[in-house]
Amino acid sequence: MNSAFYLGIDVGTQSLTAILVEAPRSEGDGEDRAEGIASRVGVHYDTELPRYGTVNGQLPNEDPAIGRAPPCMWLEALDLAFRKLGSGACREISGVSVSGQQHGSVYLRPGAEALQSLTPKQSLAEQIEPILARPEAPIWTDSSTTRECEEIRRELGGPHTVAELTGSDTFERFTGPQIRRFARTEPEAWARTAHVCLVSSFVTSVLAGRLAAIDHGDGSGMNLLDVRRLKWSEAAMAATATGLRRRLPPTCAPWTVVGPIAPYFVSRYGLPASAKVVAGSGDNPCSLVGVGVREPGEAVLSLGTSDTYFGLLKDVAVDPEANGHVFIAPSGHPMSLICFRNGSLAREAVRDRYGLDWPGFDAALRATPAGNDGMMMLPWFEPEIVPRVARPHVHRLGGLRDEPEQAARNCRAVVEGQFLSMRLNSRWMATQPRRLVATGGGSRNRELLQIAADVLDCRVESLEVTDGAALGAALRATGQRLPPLPPVGERGPAAEPRPEASAIYDAMMPRYAEAQRRAAG
């Protein structure tokens, strides 16, 4: 038999999704495709695991700068996902890989050997909780480390030097600044930390029953990896925290097999003992694989909790404005990425503000003209990553007001504002893509895709499966450097740019850029 079943697990911000695909076992000519999706299960943290008290997958905090989630919740979601998959599906699994929300970090005490001998009689959360050095993990929504970003940046020689070295200037959510803040504010907890993991490498470690290396893809979101030499940078580690070097696992290529599945999953869920665990990676690198983007000239628009825009690069080329990132893609090539924190939650905030449901929101988009007659929004409902905005504030311009009579105008303004910002702030990526593939929950929405196509002046396609990250992880679980392409399924909605609408957005860009410059400083 030359095909087998592979499981991808995406530990996302709001939910955990697992997808089982049937795909060719061995690397072919690079044009192989997965046959189909055999199963898909999801666990929504807030509603299915309410005892953790999360809101949108995050622990509530009075300070909007603090973004944290409990690692035990992810473990409980993992157990629940395997239960939902059922023993029939689990018996078929040949390989597993993880996609994780990027940048988040998990801190372990000494005693990680315990991962190898977990008993199937108790849950993962019960058994792993005692080895957590910190009960909460800072996640990508955290923006509390401005001071640490400044300190590391200064020590390494300025934003451009940090970006040339690690692929990005220091960013609040990146793991290095988060580690520095933890070591400064909780020195005792730092002292009892033996290992620092990322979300992807933590869940991979649990699956493999041993501490997993951090792959180059997720490692490049830490301000610690030398993105050209693909090694931890001594200078960046020294600028981050004392004793960091011995707490970091090795790095590895994204297609590395970490080991066989841990006995816990064999006894408890019936996975074959021979099932292999492939290194986990970040959700954005995994999505590249999940939507089948393999060449520079194609880009991905991921419309999830965060909105991200990314594509492959020929060579490492950093953003001179220091807003964007260079990560390592699952194939080992560099990829460019820009991340907007105010993604789906900002769209939902507007929808809810005017008492609409999604069909009502779409109807509002259809009822209003491209360009919104000059009404614009800078949609910073939460602190924003790009441009850097510490205090949430929604700016309404050109006569737009926050009142029920303007509900439809506000719906259009939030979406147009998001894509205008994407266009403005992704200019450094230089190449105008031939094709954009959308993924994430928002990629179901035809009206949203039409606005994206018009603003970005590019055809936007989507796939039937919106979980590009989980699907990408499943394809990566084959352990191939160029994993199979996603299965040919039903296509999702697509949109062609309309010249008359694109011309309106061309004309709007300078006004938007000026508004952003004034508001963000």
Residues near ligand XUL, by CB under 6 A? 13, 101-103, 140, 173, 221, 282-284, 304, 306, 308, 339
Nearer Cβ to ligand XUL, position 335 or 407? Answer: 335
Nearer Cβ to ligand XUL, position 136 or 457? Answer: 136
Alpha-carbon distance 98 to 76, whole Å?
15
Alpha-carbon distance 327 to 312, whole Å?
9
Nearer Cβ to ligand XUL, position 282 or 468? Answer: 282
Nearer Cβ to ligand XUL, position 7 or 339? Answer: 339
HSE-CB at 232 with a 13 A cutoff on CA atoms is 18
Rounded least distance, CB 339 to ligand XUL, Å:
4
Alpha-carbon distance 469 to 509, whole Å?
31
388 in Cβ contact with 412 (< 8 Å): no
Rounded least distance, CB 387 to ligand XUL, Å:
15
Query: CA nearest 463: which of 19, 45, 56, 46?
Result: 19
The per-residue b/e assignment along 351-380, b for 16 or more CB within 10 angstroms, e otherwise, is: bebbebeeeebbebbeebebbbeebbbbbb
416 in Cβ contact with 515 (< 8 Å): no
Rounded least distance, CB 167 to ligand XUL, Å:
11
Alpha-carbon distance 287 to 469, whole Å?
4
Rounded least distance, CB 180 to ligand XUL, Å:
18
Query: CA nearest 469: which of 308, 250, 244, 241?
Result: 308
Pairing status of strand 231-232 against strand 225-226: antiparallel
Nearer Cβ to ligand XUL, position 174 or 512? Answer: 174
Rounded least distance, CB 392 to ligand XUL, Å:
17
Alpha-carbon distance 242 to 245, whole Å?
8
Nearer Cβ to ligand XUL, position 221 or 249? Answer: 221
Tokens of 16: 């955990």
Rounded least distance, CB 198 to ligand XUL, Å:
10
Nearer Cβ to ligand XUL, position 145 or 372? Answer: 145
3-state SS, residue 249 = coil
Q: What are phi and psi of 355, to 5 degrees?
A: 60, 35
Rounded least distance, CB 17 to ligand XUL, Å:
12
Rounded least distance, CB 173 to ligand XUL, Å:
6
Nearer Cβ to ligand XUL, position 67 or 209? Answer: 67
Alpha-carbon distance 77 to 49, whole Å?
8
Alpha-carbon distance 512 to 63, whole Å?
29
Output the CA–CA distances (angstroms, integers) from residue 238 to 97, 145, 226, 232, 291, in the order listed: 31, 17, 13, 11, 38
Query: CA nearest 385: which of 425, 429, 334, 437?
Result: 425
Rounded least distance, CB 283 to ligand XUL, Å:
5
Rounded least distance, CB 1 to ligand XUL, Å:
35
Nearer Cβ to ligand XUL, position 149 or 515? Answer: 149
Query: CA nearest 97: which of 407, 477, 412?
Result: 477
Alpha-carbon distance 98 to 279, whole Å?
7
Rounded least distance, CB 104 to ligand XUL, Å:
8
Nearer Cβ to ligand XUL, position 209 or 440? Answer: 440
3-state SS, residue 292 = coil
Rounded least distance, CB 29 to ligand XUL, Å:
32
Nearer Cβ to ligand XUL, position 304 or 487? Answer: 304
**Across the strands, what pairs with 482?**
none
Alpha-carbon distance 247 to 112, whole Å?
12
Nearer Cβ to ligand XUL, position 221 or 334? Answer: 221
Position of minimal CB gap to ligand XUL? 102
